[in-house]
Amino acid sequence: MTLLSPEVIAVLMLDGILFFFASLAFLLSLRIVLRWDERATTPLQYTLQKQAYLVATVIAFIFYLKLPLFLFFIYTLDLLSNILPGAMCAAGVTTATVYGMPLFGLKIANLYLFGLWLAAHRIDMGYPTMPYTRVKFLAYLLIFPLFVVEEALELLHFFGINPHVIVSCCGTLFSAAKSSAVSAFVSLPLPVTLGTFYGLFGLAVWAWRKQRPLLSALANLLFVPVAILSLIAFFSTYVYEMPHHHCPFCLLQADYRFVGYLMYAFLFFGTFFGMAAWLAKRMGYEGWRKWLLFSVIGDFLYVALVSYYPIAFYLKNGVWL
């Protein structure tokens, strides 16, 4: 039996709508890429220009719907954890099928890609002749398949969940004992983990001081997985104040005052602008310095917030977990 909860139905329905729009944008983009001629004054070119607006609007709609929908998606998984034996939070539901983890990764990656696309579009619109039109729509043609894969994984995941099979809870999933990529990181010596984490942050700050957007983009790109893994391996245990509770999802629950939402918002904001600044510079947009600044601010807020927990714990108890 598949899970026919109203939340799942809602997510699937919105996926359907998003898929419709994304496909529409894909078809129009294809035509734009093939037929766009900046200098032409033909009716075709005129139509394409108008359709370019539709594509951009549709992509903006997808992005701005995907952002809150991502949170709703996690919430839905959290709810499903009530039905799945063994699951305590979204983590267990995510691993209920083999598609869960790749789905999650792809969802995050797609958020960045759609966001970057919109940033590029904004910059392009700042030029009288929109010189990047063709590149932009070509880029969308490449993003679209990823989006389709995401949707497919989501369907496979929801229909693949078997409510009678016992799944693992976050406690065992992310423990050092288990043999997965995540667990491998969790079992790394702490100095290595934290060194990488703070090192990358330092690199991002340095890239800002020296105004090096490429470096910033690379540092931020790496910072995303490293931040999440070190959150699982180290910082989350201090939020829960339990040495063996490694989980990136429980943070989002009311018990911890929803602090996870704030953390992930900072992290997304910081890393997103870190990458966008490089893109902006490549496209000759002067605002990249501002974006670079946004990036350091976001990164800093994230680092400050997650660092607060172990430090506060140490000051209060005089020991580390």
Partner 1 sequence: MQKEGLNMVEVKGVSKVFNAGRPNEMTALEDVSFAVGEGELVILKGPSGSGKSTLLSLIAALQKPTRGEVVVASEPVSRFSEDFAALYRRRKIGFVFQKFNLIPSLSVYENIITPLLPEKLDEEALKERAQRVMETFAIAHKANEPARNLSGGEQQRTAIARALVNDPPIILADEPTANLDADLSHAFLSYVGQMKEEGKTVIIATHDPLFFDLAITDREIALRNGKMEGA
Partner 2 sequence: MKNLFAFALGSLLRRGAKNLFIFVIFFLMVFVLASVFMVTHALKKEMFTTLSALPQITVQRIVAGRQTQIGVERAERIARILGVSQALPRVWGFYYFPRAGVNYSIVGLESFGQQYRADLQKAADLYVEKLAAEDVMIVGPGVKKSLAEHFYPESFLFVKPDGSLKKVRIAGVFKPQTVLESNDLILMENSLVREIFGMDESMATDIVVRVPNKEEIPTVARKIREIYPDTRVITREDLRISYQNVFDYKSGIFLALFIVAVFTFFIILYDKASGLSSEEKREIGILKALGWKIGDIMRVKFFEAAVISLTAYLLAVTAAVAYVFMAQAPLLKHLFTGFSVLKPPFALPFTVDVGTLALIFFVTVPVYIAATLIPSWKAATLDADEVIR
Q: Which residues bind partner 2 (CB under 8 A)?
A: 3-11, 13-14, 17, 21, 50, 53-54, 57-58, 61, 65, 68-69, 72, 75, 79, 82-83, 85, 163
Assess contact for 175 and 186: CB atoms under 8 A.
yes
Q: How far is the CB of 43 from partner 1 (least distance, A)?
A: 8
One of 46, 72, 258, 320 touching partner 1 (CB under 8 A): 46
Residue 103: CB partners within 8 Å, gap ≥ 6?
94, 150, 153, 154, 157
C-alpha 229/C-alpha 300 separation (Å) is 17
Question: Is residue 118 a contact point for partner 1 (CB under 8 A)?
Answer: no
Of 14 and 301, which CB lies nearer to partner 2 in the complex structure?
14
Please say whether the dihedral angle defined by the alpha carbons of residues 165, 171, 176 and 181, taken in this order, is positive or negative.
Answer: positive
Of 6 and 43, which CB lies nearer to partner 1 in the complex structure?
43
C-alpha 184/C-alpha 200 separation (Å) is 20
Partner in contact with 318, chosen from partner 2, partner 1, none, beta carbon below 5 to 8 Å by kind: none
C-alpha 200/C-alpha 197 separation (Å) is 5
Neighbours of 86 (CB within 10 A): 14
Query: Could you report how far apart the first and last alpha carbons of the chain are, in Å?
Result: 43
Question: Is residue 6 a contact point for partner 1 (CB under 8 A)?
Answer: no
Residue found by looking up tokens 């789905």 in the block? 103
- By three-state DSSP, how is residue 141 classified? helix
C-alpha 252/C-alpha 70 separation (Å) is 13
Partner in contact with 39, chosen from partner 1, partner 2, none, beta carbon below 5 to 8 Å by kind: partner 1
Q: Which two tokens stand for residue 151?
A: 């949707």
Q: How far is the CB of 82 from partner 2 (least distance, A)?
A: 6
Among the candidate windows 42-50, 87-95, 143-151, 194-202, which touches partner 1 by CB under 8 A? 42-50
Partner in contact with 6, chosen from partner 2, partner 1, none, beta carbon below 5 to 8 Å by kind: partner 2
Of 50 and 316, which CB lies nearer to partner 2 in the complex structure?
50
Residues 48-67 that bind partner 1 (CB under 8 A): 49-50, 53
Partner in contact with 83, chosen from partner 2, partner 1, none, beta carbon below 5 to 8 Å by kind: partner 2
Nearest to 264 by CA among 310, 291, 224: 224
Question: Is residue 175 a contact point for partner 1 (CB under 8 A)?
Answer: no
Judged by the rule CB under 8 A, the positions of this chain that interact with partner 1 are 39, 41-43, 46, 49-50, 53, 125, 127-130
